Amino acid sequence: MITRKKINKKSPTNYSWFDINQLTDNDLKQLRQFLHFTPALIEYLSDIHERPHYDYDAATNSSLVVYDLPVWPKDKQKHFTTQPVILLVQGTTVFTFHSDDTNYALENFSQKELNQITDAYDFVVNFLLHAASYFNSALTTLNIERNNLDARLNESIKNRDLLQLAKIEKSFVYLSSSLQTNLIMLESLSHHKEHFTLSSQSREKLDDVFIELRQANRMVNISSEVTEKISMTSNNILNNNLNDIMNFMTVWSLILTIPTIITGFYGMNVALPFMHQKLSWLLISFIMLILMGLLLWFFKKRKMF
């Protein structure tokens, strides 16, 4: 749906902002007919998996900025993912294309921030600065969840906690990948000064976006390493506990094999020692206990039990 948004009426360039949420075929038809979007541009805008980058189209004098945003976990998707928001500048008009999952960033773009914007290019930079904070919010959410899991794992290691830890690791992978590609896009954007014209104030804000994303990228990498270490340590402890259990089961299964073998022999209908004595079962039981004790002593001496 295409919606014309309210902007700063005192802006010297009198720019316009059109927001397109969940791009439909009808929206594409309007963009082609009334705004004369080229097929190549339409293809970019229709790709929901477009990676962050900056592109300039000389034919339409359009600047295209693709920027990833974190998507919070939902019922079907249990870990953080990322989706692109596309910002297109044509002259004094800016278009934002996004899905419902990233609509929160546009909804939280306050009127106070809009009132400080002077033109369409300044709009893009201000939005990028506004959106950069969501990576830190996602990182904080993941760190709190990981610390809570770590406290539980210190008491008792359960498979469900390890699975939850794996989901946190996946979330860090998505965030790290998007942060790195966002930084590459910003590098490209800063090198196209002739097409993406910014005032000195907007240029300073773009530097602030660099700082925010680089800091978030470092923190995500550090948090990812910590989570990976916790996961490896927990898995090692769980595997060690399993080995101890298997050791215990193996040793006792071997020890209990002795009575099985001896009673198996005496269950046969053949002549065997002690079978005609009155207390033969006591003697046989005593021999079994001695053999079991010797085997147990052997395993303990070899530190197998």
Domain boundaries, the chain: 2-240, 256-301
DSSP state of 36: -
- Which token pair is 144? 């709190």
Q: What is the pLDDT of residue 255?
A: 82
Q: What is the pLDDT of residue 222?
A: 94
Q: How far is residue 161's CA from residue 153's CA, in Å, rounded to a whole number?
A: 7
- Which token pair is 283? 């003697």
Q: What is the pLDDT of residue 250?
A: 81
Q: How far is residue 305's CA from residue 297's CA, in Å, rounded to a whole number?
A: 9
Instruction: For the chain, 305 residues long, give each residue's pLDDT as a single digit of tens.
Output: 788 777 765 555 577 888 888 888 888 888 777 777 777 777 777 777 789 999 888 877 888 899 999 999 987 778 999 999 999 998 888 999 999 999 999 888 876 677 778 888 888 999 999 999 999 999 999 999 999 888 888 777 777 888 888 899 999 999 999 999 999 999 988 888 778 888 888 889 999 999 999 999 999 999 999 988 888 888 777 777 777 778 878 888 888 888 887 777 777 766 667 666 677 777 777 888 888 888 888 877 777 66
Q: What is the pLDDT of residue 80?
A: 93
Please tell me whether residue 76 adopts helix, strand or coil conformation: coil
Q: What is the pLDDT of residue 305?
A: 63
Q: What is the pLDDT of residue 295?
A: 81
- Which token pair is 178? 């998007």
Reported for 167-171, long-range contacts at CB under 8 A and 24+ positions apart, including other chains, are 167/73, 167/78, 167/79, 168/79, 168/142, 168/227, 169/224, 169/227, 169/228, 169/231, 170/79, 170/80, 171/73, 171/79, 171/80, 171/81, 171/138, 171/142
Q: What is the pLDDT of residue 127?
A: 92
Q: Is 63 exposed, middle or buried (0-12, 13-18, 19+ CB in 10 A)?
A: buried
